[in-house]
Amino acid sequence: MGDETDSLELTDEELEELAEADPDPAPVQHSTQDFDVEGLVRRLIRGDIVVPTFGHGDDSIELAGFQRGFVWRRPQMDRFIESLLLGYPIPGIFLVQQADKRYLVLDGQQRLRTLAAFYKGTHGERSFKLRNVAARFEDLTYESLSAEQRRLLDNTFIQATIVQTDGSPASLEAVYQIFERLNTGGTQLTAHEIRVALYAGSFIDFITMLNDDAGWRDLYGAHPARLRDQELVLRVLALLISPGDYRRPLKTFLNDFVASHRNLERIDPAHYGKLFSDTCSVLRDGPGRQALRSKGTQVNAAFAEAIMVGLATRLGAEPPPDPTKVSEALDRLVKNEEFEGAVSKATADEESVRTRLALAIREFSPT
């Protein structure tokens, strides 16, 4: 069996994190509006409706990065257009209206991009001719539709639920809650994939850079599916910088941390970048890949974050840590029953987090 951290399927821990109730979910205002298909395509072309690029910041887009890459296959695209030509009902879309009045696509990018491609007449570099449809629709393009078919398609209405946001952390958290509840499709997003999209900005760019650190890659290995390595980098930084703020659920703690430092407010990237890199180098030269893996072969996030935070805290003291001593300290932690319990059971509980961080910091202490 392959490493579950490299699976597209959500792990039990990720499913549990998504399902965990939020103590104080924020309210949100929304409205509904019907858009004709031709109007939707026109708005897409001129940029009044935007499908953000997953995981990349854009200062002009408050929710940059919310969507994943386009994943529909041609049969799905063809059958969607066919459904419209047959007059079948289709699901609505969710849009977010930001302060500049543009609409950002919260849910429905597959449908909207399919429409835009069909009206344009190409998908990728190929002509968009209907193939996986009934015989009477085969080889049709938008340009070759009959006048009646074109009017039917152009004038079909799609209902949009529109959520308003002012870009504030509370407003963005409300959008996070909505997206998380919509996140039930064939390939669900993880909590961190939603987070990267929702809070895109300088801090997300910073942890993306740290995730490519050579020492970190040597420790973690190849980039896994679903940004799991990047989320671990975030957990390390959040617990290193603001351990006293930790409260479960973990996803909310991480959301709040990123929101507070979205544009690197009160974060010195040079300092924390060097500290992260130095910590990885010492672990690589000492215990190596096992520094992130407890007693198994898979990365254990709770174990890894404690080791990273404990050693990073130590790096500010003299004398510099010896890799051999670091390996010995790691061995003692692995054999510590209290530490083992804190990295294997109820790992998101406040007491488990406090216990494993305190034990790791103490074990790596120079005294």
Q: Residue 97 — very low, low, confident or very high, per pLDDT cuts 50/70/90?
A: confident
**Final residue of a domain: which of 147, 170, 193?**
170
* 113 lies in the same domain as 238: no
> What is the predicted pLDDT for the residue at 61?
41
Q: Is residue 118 part of a domain?
A: yes
Mean pLDDT along residues 127-141? 96
- pLDDT tens figures, 1-31: 234 555 656 676 776 776 676 777 767 778 9
Q: Is residue 332 part of a domain?
A: yes
* 162 lies in the same domain as 208: no
Q: Is the pLDDT of residue 358 over 60?
A: yes
Residues β-bridged to residue 131: none
Closest to 347 measured CA to CA, from 333, 357, 335, 362 = 357
- Got the DSSP string for 4-22? GGG-SSPPHHHHHHHHSPP
* 165 lies in the same domain as 259: no
* 165 lies in the same domain as 216: no
| CA atoms lying within 13 Å on the CB side of residue 179 | 29
Q: In terms of residues, how long is the chain? A: 367
Distance CA 238, CA 60 (A): 26
In which domain, by residue range, is 115 found?
30-170
Residue showing tokens 């990237």: 269
Q: Is residue 3 part of a domain?
A: no
Q: Is residue 159 part of a domain?
A: yes
> What is the predicted pLDDT for the residue at 289?
96
* 63 lies in the same domain as 165: yes
Q: Residue 54 — very low, low, confident or very high, per pLDDT cuts 50/70/90?
A: very low
Q: Is residue 6 part of a domain?
A: no
* 73 lies in the same domain as 137: yes
* 211 lies in the same domain as 349: yes
Ramachandran region, residue 32 (left: φ > 0; alpha: ψ -120 to 50; beta: rest): beta
- pLDDT tens figures, 62-95: 344 444 445 688 999 999 999 999 999 999 998 9
* Mean pLDDT score across all residues of the chain: 87
- pLDDT tens figures, 173-225: 787 878 777 766 555 678 888 788 778 789 999 999 999 999 999 999 999 87
Q: Is residue 260 part of a domain?
A: yes
> What is the predicted pLDDT for the residue at 6?
58
- pLDDT tens figures, 144-165: 999 999 999 999 999 999 988 7
The total of structural domains in the chain comes to 2
- pLDDT tens figures, 30-47: 899 999 999 999 999 999
* 214 lies in the same domain as 333: yes
208-211 long-range contacts, CB within 8 A, separation 24+: 208/55, 209/273, 210/237, 210/273, 210/276, 210/277
Q: Is the pLDDT of residue 250 over 80?
A: yes
Closest to 188 measured CA to CA, from 94, 107, 298 = 107
Reported as type and span, the H/E element at residue 148 is helix 147-154
Q: Is the pLDDT of residue 167 over 60?
A: yes
Q: Is residue 319 part of a domain?
A: yes
* 246 lies in the same domain as 160: no
> What is the predicted pLDDT for the residue at 63?
40
Q: Is residue 176 part of a domain?
A: no
Least confident residue range of 18-27, 81-90, 115-124, 266-275: 18-27
> What is the predicted pLDDT for the residue at 8?
58
**Final residue of a domain: which of 148, 170, 192?**
170
Mean pLDDT along residues 105-109? 82
Chain-centre distance for alpha carbon 229: 11
- pLDDT tens figures, 212-248: 999 999 999 999 878 899 999 999 999 999 999 999 9
Least confident residue range of 64-73, 139-148, 284-293, 302-311: 64-73
> What is the predicted pLDDT for the residue at 3?
45
* 166 lies in the same domain as 272: no
Distance CA 289, CA 218 (A): 7
* 241 lies in the same domain as 332: yes
How crowded is residue 147: how many other Cβ atoms within 10 Å of its Cβ?
Answer: 7
> What is the predicted pLDDT for the residue at 188?
66
* 147 lies in the same domain as 270: no
